[in-house]
């Protein structure tokens, strides 16, 4: 391709200034260098680009064609250059968030609202990861951050930033025989209907870390996609549900549900923000992680710092290994 951006800049400058001398000053070129550039174009395409006897210089049809091209391409190129400079400075980017945590809307949406006010030039979006595998999608570049409590250490190139720890507790009707217990054992759930999110059992903590290791299954399993619906089913004596402590705390004032610990010491989990390793130091990404930690501490009841503690199930040593599922 013979036409270069410098040629288009020259055509645009001459059309704007009306003379080679004025265009040369604008482009920081000598008049002879600019004249040579234009004549080179004309020789290559065997056309004239300007009516030289006209003052100010007037474009020929061939010159008008190049000017139209210059206005389109140079505007796009200059916009791209500006965005690249903003990216280099960390003020512009894309942050598409996916979440596996069914009950995280309570703190994630306020986080995104506050972040959007501080970083308006970051393209922000949210999708729920219920029907696809968000961590492989993160590596493919389909999303940029995944809220998860189920890290996959075999997937290289992902950094897991711990947000906070929370307890998964059993929500029961206030009149349930289990309501007066300090904690329940797996066998206590054998005669109950367990209400869960529509997630495969091996990814639910109440199965993977509580019932299945003890060889116990509930009498029945019922699913609901919405947290409010699960709470309403428990309140209607339709079953019991394992939910994050902050969810139960939000609904406890209604008075018709109670909650107990799952096992002695409780069932604790760590929630992570998973990002690509090459993005973790980006200023706009760091700002989102900071905002998420701040908002969750402000809005959620019963959460703890993300440092693992003795007795935690899962990521007891490092945030890059071990199974978790916030869904309960």
| pLDDT greater than 70 at residue 70 | yes
Cβ neighbours around 217 below 10 Å, total: 15
**79 against 249, higher pLDDT:** 249
| pLDDT greater than 90 at residue 165 | yes
CATH 1.10.10.10, the chain: domain bounds: 5-89
- Burial tier of 49 (Cβ tally within 10 Å: 0-12, 13-18, 19+): buried
| pLDDT greater than 70 at residue 73 | yes
| pLDDT greater than 70 at residue 326 | no
| pLDDT greater than 70 at residue 65 | yes
Q: What is the pLDDT of residues 236-245, one digit of tens each?
A: 999 999 999 9
Residues 6 or more apart whose CB falls under 8 angstroms from that of 94 comprise: 122, 123, 144
CATH code for the part of the protein at 5-89? 1.10.10.10
| pLDDT greater than 90 at residue 155 | no
| pLDDT greater than 60 at residue 130 | no
Quick one: pLDDT at residue 307? 60
Structure confidence at residue 90 as a pLDDT band (50, 70, 90): low
Beta pairing class for 158-173 and 267-276: antiparallel
Please give the Cα distance from 315 to 163 (Å, whole number): 13
The three-state (H, E, C) secondary structure of the chain, written as one string: CCCCHHHHHHHHHHHHHCCHHHHHHHHCCCHHHHHHHHHHHHHHHCCCCEECCCCCCEECHHHHHHHHHHHHHHHHHHHHHHHHHHHHHCCCEEEEEEECCCCCHHHHHHHHHHHHHHCCCEEEEEEECCCCCHHHHHHHCCCCEEEECCCCCCCCCEEEEEEEEEEEEEEEECCCHHHHCCEECHHHHCCCEEEECCCCHHHCHHHHHHHHHHCCCCCEEEECCCHHHHHHHHHCCCCEEEEEHHHHHHHHHHCCEEEEEECCCCEEEEEEEEEEHHHCCCHHHHHHHHHHHHHHHHHCCCCECCCCCCCCCCCCCCCCCCCCCCCC
| pLDDT greater than 90 at residue 316 | no
Residue percentage of the chain with pLDDT more than 90: 57
Q: Does domain 167-267 have CATH number 3.30.70.141?
A: no
| pLDDT greater than 60 at residue 206 | yes
| pLDDT greater than 80 at residue 23 | yes
Quick one: pLDDT at residue 87? 61
**93 against 41, higher pLDDT:** 41
Closest CA to 193 of 171, 210, 218, 213: 218
Please give the Cα distance from 233 to 219 (Å, whole number): 16
Q: What is the pLDDT of residues 250-299, one digit of tens each?
A: 888 888 999 999 999 999 999 999 999 998 888 899 999 999 999 999 99
Phi, psi of 184, rounded to the nearest 5 degrees? -115, 155
Quick one: pLDDT at residue 131? 54
Q: What's the pTM? A: 0.65
Residue percentage of the chain with pLDDT more than 70: 88
Quick one: pLDDT at residue 255? 86
| pLDDT greater than 60 at residue 182 | yes
Average pLDDT, the chain: 86
What the block records as the tokens of 269 is 């989990």
Average pLDDT estimate for 222-229: 91
CATH 3.40.190.10, the chain: domain bounds: 93-164+268-299, 167-267
Q: Which residues pair with 171 in a beta bridge?
A: 241, 259
Q: Class for domain 93-164+268-299, per CATH? A: alpha beta
């Amino acid at each position: 391709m013979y036409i270069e951006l410098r040629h288009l800049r020259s055509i645009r400058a001459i059309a704007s200034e009306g003379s080679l001398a004025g265009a040369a000053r604008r482009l920081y070129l000598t008049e002879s260098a600019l004249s040579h550039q234009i004549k080179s174009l004309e020789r290559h395409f065997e056309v004239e680009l300007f009516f030289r006897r006209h003052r100010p210089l007037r474009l020929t049809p061939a010159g008008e064609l190049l000017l139209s091209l210059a206005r389109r391409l140079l505007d796009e190129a200059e916009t791209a250059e500006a965005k690249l400079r903003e990216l280099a400075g960390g003020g512009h980017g894309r942050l598409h968030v996916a979440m596996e945590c069914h009950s995280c809307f309570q703190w994630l949406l306020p986080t995104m609202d506050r972040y959007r006010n501080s970083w308006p030039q970051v393209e922000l979006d949210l999708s729920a990861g219920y029907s696809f595998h968000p961590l492989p999608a993160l590596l493919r570049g389909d999303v940029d951050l995944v809220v998860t409590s189920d890290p996959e250490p075999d997937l290289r190139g992902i950094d897991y930033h711990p947000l906070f720890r929370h307890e998964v507790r059993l929500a029961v009707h206030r009149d349930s025989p289990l309501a007066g217990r300090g904690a329940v054992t797996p066998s206590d759930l054998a005669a109950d209907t367990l209400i869960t999110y529509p997630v495969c059992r091996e990814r639910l903590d109440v199965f993977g870390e509580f019932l299945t290791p003890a060889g116990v299954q509930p009498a029945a399993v019922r699913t609901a996609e919405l947290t409010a619906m699960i709470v309403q089913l428990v309140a209607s004596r339709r079953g019991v549900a394992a939910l994050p402590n902050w969810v139960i705390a939000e609904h406890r004032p209604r008075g018709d549900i109670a909650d107990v610990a799952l096992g002695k010491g409780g069932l604790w989990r760590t929630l992570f923000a998973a990002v690509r390793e090459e993005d973790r130091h980006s200023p706009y990404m760091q700002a989102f992680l900071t905002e998420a930690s701040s908002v969750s501490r402000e809005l959620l009841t019963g959460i703890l710092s993300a440092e693992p503690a003795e007795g935690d199930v899962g990521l007891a040593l490092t945030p890059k290994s071990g199974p978790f599922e916030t869904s309960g």
